[in-house]
Amino acid sequence: MRVTRFRFPGAPRPRALLLAAVLLPACRGDAGELSPGGYAGVELTQPRPKPDFTLTTTDGRPFDFRRETDGYLTFLFFGYTNCPDVCPVHMANLAAALDRLPRETARDVRVVFVTTDPARDTPARIREWLDAFDPGFIGLTGTPEELSDAQVAAGLLPAMADTAAGAAYEVGHAAQVLAYTPDNLLRVQYPFGTRQSDWAHDIPLLRTRSAAREFSAGDLRVLEAVAPAPPGRGPMALYLIVVNEGAADTLVAIESDAADSAALHRQMVHGGSARMMPAGVVAIPAGGTLRLEPGGLHAMLNGPRRSFAPGDSLRVVLRFRRAGALPVVARVVSYTELETAR
């Protein structure tokens, strides 16, 4: 499977394609080959951070792109609802691929469509258009300046409307979908020509093959978040390292939408037998390190909502008194891999 970049010879090249060249260096194999990372899409040689912008959803709510898609595999696309070719084809193929993937895979994916034609794309129009593909797709709009800034922040050339063509004008815009892995990095992009089978091939990889091992909020960095796969749907342990490069903070809670409940535990040994005790809140001194590890302080995810296997990932949110919420994507590993890693 691969992106074959189909072209229609003899056809006027859509303006959308003229702006397809992004400011990002990318690499992929020749036609018929996957990228070095095994993707059908165009893999970036140097991943780029997720842009930070806030726009408005179709129901009028502010949408902090970075925060609200944190920890999710996120596809970002800038287009417009009157687009005759690239936009509907991308949205339709992405929706069709997601529809055929396992529900738990699709659940971890966010598709964000940002209009490049705010004059005609009212929130209601965007919502109606997106609903035709998938009601779960997120539609965003804003002022022309906000939308232009968002495109630049994403590393794209801002779209340009050909208003000389009258009311039925077209908008030249970037034709690729940007894929941000759960670690908030842009790793792969999908030009026009991406087929449903390409999406279906890459989405599970993008969702679980996040190479990132580091998540941060303020002065806190979380490293090496792993959860050994339990047999069946038994409780899951979660191990990680929190590095505090600022003032003292306190880990007050841990949450996860992958399990019914999550809590911090400390393993205590009394009279030769190990017991698990609730740990409550845990202080992290200024410049200190907190380790959640086997045999000591660790987190437990009780009642996983599905079976997890090595290679999967799960999303947890660590809540700190000072730094606030810090979403983390933990890799699900085998116990053998856990032993090897440590």
Partner 1 sequence: MSWWCSATGQAWEWTWRAYPGVWLFVLALAAGYWRVIRVGGPAERRRAVRLGGTGLLLVWLLLDWPIGTLGAGYLVSVHALQFLGLAFIAPPLLLAGVPGTRWARLARSAGPAGTLRVLTHPLLTGVLFNFIVLTTHLPMVVDPLMARQAGAFLIDLAWLGGGLLFWWPIVAPVPARTGGALAKIGYLFAGTLFHTAIGMWLLLSRWPVYEVYELAPPIGGRSVLVDQGIAGGFMELLGGVIIIGSIAVLFFRWAGREAAEARAEP
- For position 126 contacting partner 1 by CB under 8 A, the verdict is no
Indicate the residue among 191 and 327 with the shorter CB distance to partner 1: 191
User: Whole-angstrom Cα distance, residue 30 to residue 1?
Assistant: 12
10-18, 45-53, 225-233, 291-299 -> range binding partner 1 (CB under 8 A): 10-18
- For position 12 contacting partner 1 by CB under 8 A, the verdict is yes
- For position 167 contacting partner 1 by CB under 8 A, the verdict is no
Tell how far CA 25 is from the center of its chain: 20
- For the bound state, the minimum distance from the C-beta of residue 84 to partner 1, rounded and expressed in Å, comes to 3
- Closest to 114 in 3D by CA, of 84, 85, 153: 153
Indicate the residue among 132 and 268 with the shorter CB distance to partner 1: 132
- For position 132 contacting partner 1 by CB under 8 A, the verdict is yes
- For position 39 contacting partner 1 by CB under 8 A, the verdict is no
- For position 32 contacting partner 1 by CB under 8 A, the verdict is no
* Contact pattern from residue 86 through residue 125 relative to partner 1, giving x for each residue in contact according to CB under 8 A and a dash for the rest: --xx--xx--x---x-------------------------
- For position 11 contacting partner 1 by CB under 8 A, the verdict is yes
- For position 278 contacting partner 1 by CB under 8 A, the verdict is no
- For the bound state, the minimum distance from the C-beta of residue 10 to partner 1, rounded and expressed in Å, comes to 7
Q: How far, in Å, are 61, 75, 228, 259 from residue 307 at the CA level? A: 34, 25, 12, 10
Indicate the residue among 8 and 340 with the shorter CB distance to partner 1: 8
- For position 311 contacting partner 1 by CB under 8 A, the verdict is no
- For position 195 contacting partner 1 by CB under 8 A, the verdict is yes
User: Whole-angstrom Cα distance, residue 58 to residue 207?
Assistant: 26
- For position 193 contacting partner 1 by CB under 8 A, the verdict is yes
Q: Which of 84, 234, 288, 324 binds partner 1 (CB under 8 A)?
A: 84
- For position 200 contacting partner 1 by CB under 8 A, the verdict is yes
Q: Which of 56, 122, 196, 267 binds partner 1 (CB under 8 A)?
A: 196
3-state secondary structure the chain: CCCCCCCCCCCCCCHHHHCCCCCCCEECCCCCCCCCCCCCCEEEEEEEECCCCEEEECCCCEEEHHHHCCCCEEEEEEECCCCCCHHHHHHHHHHHHHHHCCHHHHHCEEEEEEECCCCCCCHHHHHHHHHCCCCCCEEEECCHHHHHHHHHHCCCCCCEECHHHCCCCCEECCCCEEEEECCCEEEEEECCCCCHHHHHHHHHHHHHCCCCCEEEECCEEEEEEEEECCCCCCCEEEEEEEEECCCCEEEEEEEECCEEEEEEEEEEEECCEEEEEECCCEEECCCCEEEECCCCEEEEEEEECCCCCCCCEEEEEEEECCCEEEEEEEEEECHHHHHHHC
- For position 9 contacting partner 1 by CB under 8 A, the verdict is yes
Q: Which residues contact 191 (CB under 8 A, 6 or more apart)?
A: 3, 5, 20, 42, 175, 176
- For the bound state, the minimum distance from the C-beta of residue 140 to partner 1, rounded and expressed in Å, comes to 22
- For position 173 contacting partner 1 by CB under 8 A, the verdict is no
Indicate the residue among 132 and 248 with the shorter CB distance to partner 1: 132
- For the bound state, the minimum distance from the C-beta of residue 197 to partner 1, rounded and expressed in Å, comes to 5
Indicate the residue among 85 and 255 with the shorter CB distance to partner 1: 85
Q: Which of 56, 122, 197, 267 binds partner 1 (CB under 8 A)?
A: 197
- For position 282 contacting partner 1 by CB under 8 A, the verdict is no
> In the complex, which residues of this chain contact partner 1 (CB under 8 A)?
4, 6-12, 14, 84-85, 88-89, 92-93, 96, 100, 132, 192-193, 195-197, 200
